[in-house]
Chain A
Amino acid sequence: MTDFLQNNGFLLVTMVQQALLAMSLYYPLMCGQLSLASPGFYALGGYVAAIIGTIEYFAPWRDSLGWVIFPLEWLAAGIISGFLAVLVGIPALRLRGIYLALATIAFVEILRVVCLNLEITGGAIGIFGVPQLFESRWSYIWTFGPLLMLMLFFSYRLDRSRVGRAFKAIREDELAADAMGINPTRYKVLAFVIGAVLAGVVGAMSAPFLNTWNARQGTFDASIAYLAYVLIGGSRSMWGPLLGGMMLSALPEILRPLKDSRLIINGFVLVFASIYMPKGIAGAVGNLKNFTTRILGIGRSEK
């Protein structure tokens, strides 16, 4: 068991981390907004943690606070991401559908180029030697794992709350929601901010985990990867991004014995999954449950 964790610890933690990033896309999607801004906030959060962890100015803090500096980094990353999300979200969420997606891609690019050219972010080289929270890669499950649990619980509660109902009403019919007295702009910005804060915190947890941080952390490729997680996993419930993020981030590793052809297989899996599971993996699992209920009469509720 210890051997297994030693060898696969990095992958397992990465799966949880990617599931969290997939969830950061899921909140805007709950109210029908396709935002691809997550990598930007993820990169931002990582820089916040890397900067607090390395520059001279914070040295006395690091010495006196010890490990407590890490939760403070997460908090700072969350607050800064949330603040920026409000600033970006209010104008950007006037756009709909593909235009919002494009605007958020532009946001990610702008942030990337800015970080590439600033001195404090280490320019093209990035920031090296970000202090570690744990000695082994595997131990980082103790930061990402509880966050995932927390977000699952939060999503579960959100889904059944007043705010969650407003999100879903906006996703289905923004005009009807507006006519019912739900302010669509307010809730769309809120969903965007929730996603951004999550991505920022995950970034701040990832900088110590990866030991180094640079502008390649927040790219257009990442936007597409996270989108694939949600689409393949399913966007109708919180289980979709969870399953999609975990499975798709593990797939290239599982297929590693196939050498170069693994990329082809990886592509095939994405194509077939989107054709045969239009509601995503989570939707397909739900259908399977209905199917067995119908055919076998298992778990049928009394009418």
Chain B
Amino acid sequence: MALLELKNLSVNYGAIQAVQGLNLEINSGEVVTLIGANGAGKSTTLRAISRLLKVREGSIIFDGREITGLAPDAVVRMGIAQSPEGRQVLARQSVLDNLELGAYVRKDRAGITNDISRMFQLFPRLEERKQQSAGTLSGGEQQMLAIARAMMSRPKLLMLDEPSLGLAPLIIREIFSIIRNLNAEGTTILLVEQNAKLAMQHSHRTYVLEAGQITFTGSSQELLSDDRVLHAYLGG
């Protein structure tokens, strides 16, 4: 059974219909990529799943439960965490406080402390800077913090919105190897990227979104060698 299922999902962004009749499935343990041009509706889809945007039509089913009408905090409690686009770390607060906030829905003090040290193992650079305010970190470090913060709620599904945005190639490679590690440890990942080729190389399956609708879907391997996709999205 799919961990997350979007059925005929339509979402409006203001007056604009940003996503129309979208169907998408993510199985446990997968890394799924959602690619598409600017304004295709990728971030809108993520925000609808996080319940930050109202769903106009269709349903979102997570872990066998309908979550379409739930509040954002209920969704986080159920095990969906989002690392938002542009990182959005809380710049004035310390790295440690940001991580604590990521675990806001949890009450198990010992588990939280444990997970913070686990995040520091995964991201040693964050440990060196744990008392610094997050705004003083480099772009790559902020991205790491955003991912670590999302992981602090112990999600079953981690949604990453443009993790490569504005980062140097070397850092991007580091981020993607971390994403791969998180997946290997059992976290299911929904990845939204403009850097299509890289994202497809690091995912099992890919959905291509165009003007609010899915135009291609399939295994990332196949799509990577598909001429049409190659031509439209990978500049080949």
- CB pair A178–B52 under 8 Å, yes or no, is yes
For B, the interface residue count at a CB cutoff of 8 angstroms equals 23
Which one of A162, A168, A179, A182 contacts B52 once the chains associate, using CB atoms below 8 Å? A179
- Segment of B69-77, B183-191, B212-220, B226-234 engaged in the interface with chain A: B69-77
Which one of B73, B90, B92 contacts A183 once the chains associate, using CB atoms below 8 Å? B73
Q: How far is the CA of A182 from the CA of B72 in the complex (A)?
A: 8
- CB pair B104–A175 under 8 Å, yes or no, is no
- CB pair B153–A175 under 8 Å, yes or no, is no
Whether A172 sits at the interface, judged by CB under 8 Å, is yes
**Known contacts A165-B97, A166-B104, A176-B84, A182 near B73 by CB under 8 Å:** yes
Q: How far is the CA of A28 from the CA of B91 in the complex (A)?
A: 20
Whether B105 sits at the interface, judged by CB under 8 Å, is yes
Whether B156 sits at the interface, judged by CB under 8 Å, is no
Q: How far is the CA of A215 from the CA of B91 in the complex (A)?
A: 43
- CB pair A181–B76 under 8 Å, yes or no, is yes
- CB pair B90–A179 under 8 Å, yes or no, is no
Whether B102 sits at the interface, judged by CB under 8 Å, is yes
Q: How far is the CA of A116 from the CA of B97 in the complex (A)?
A: 48
- CB pair A181–B93 under 8 Å, yes or no, is no
Whether A169 sits at the interface, judged by CB under 8 Å, is yes
Q: How far is the CA of A168 from the CA of B82 in the complex (A)?
A: 19
Chain A residues with CB under 8 Å of B76's CB are 179-181
Scoring B residues 37 to 64 as 1 if CB is less than 8 Å from chain A, else 0, what string do you get? 0000000000000101000000000000
Q: How far is the CA of A180 from the CA of B52 in the complex (A)?
A: 11
Q: How far is the CA of A169 from the CA of B182 in the complex (A)?
A: 26
- CB pair A179–B82 under 8 Å, yes or no, is yes
- CB pair A173–B73 under 8 Å, yes or no, is no
Whether B211 sits at the interface, judged by CB under 8 Å, is no
- CB pair B52–A165 under 8 Å, yes or no, is no
**How far is the CB of A166 from the nearest CB of chain B, in Å?**
7
Chain B residues with CB under 8 Å of A166's CB are 101, 104
For A, the interface residue count at a CB cutoff of 8 angstroms equals 16
Q: How far is the CA of A67 from the CA of B225 in the complex (A)?
A: 86
Of all chain A residues, the one with the shortest Cβ separation from B107 is A162
Whether B149 sits at the interface, judged by CB under 8 Å, is yes
Scoring A residues 163 to 198 as 1 if CB is less than 8 Å from chain B, else 0, what string do you get? 001101100110111111111000000000000000
- CB pair B90–A178 under 8 Å, yes or no, is no
**Known contacts A168-B93, A172-B91, A180 near B50 by CB under 8 Å:** no
Whether B100 sits at the interface, judged by CB under 8 Å, is yes
Of all chain B residues, the one with the shortest Cβ separation from A169 is B101
Which one of A169, A178, A181 contacts B77 once the chains associate, using CB atoms below 8 Å? A181
Q: How far is the CA of A178 from the CA of B153 in the complex (A)?
A: 13
Chain A residues with CB under 8 Å of B105's CB are 180-181
**Known contacts A165-B101, A166-B104, A169-B101, A179 near B72 by CB under 8 Å:** yes
Of all chain B residues, the one with the shortest Cβ separation from A236 is B92
Whether B88 sits at the interface, judged by CB under 8 Å, is yes
**Known contacts A180-B76, A180-B153, A183-B71, A175 near B52 by CB under 8 Å:** yes
- CB pair B101–A173 under 8 Å, yes or no, is no
- CB pair B93–A176 under 8 Å, yes or no, is no
Apart from A172-B93, A183-B71: 16 A-B pairs, beta carbons within 8 A = A168-B92, A169-B93, A169-B101, A169-B104, A172-B92, A173-B90, A176-B84, A179-B50, A179-B72, A179-B84, A180-B102, A180-B104, A180-B105, A181-B76, A181-B153, A183-B72
Q: List residues of chain B with CB under 8 Å of any chain A CB.
A: 50, 52, 71-73, 75-77, 82, 84, 88, 90-93, 97, 100-102, 104-105, 149, 153
6 pairs of A and B residues whose beta carbons are closest in the complex? A181-B76, A181-B105, A181-B73, A176-B88, A172-B90, A178-B72
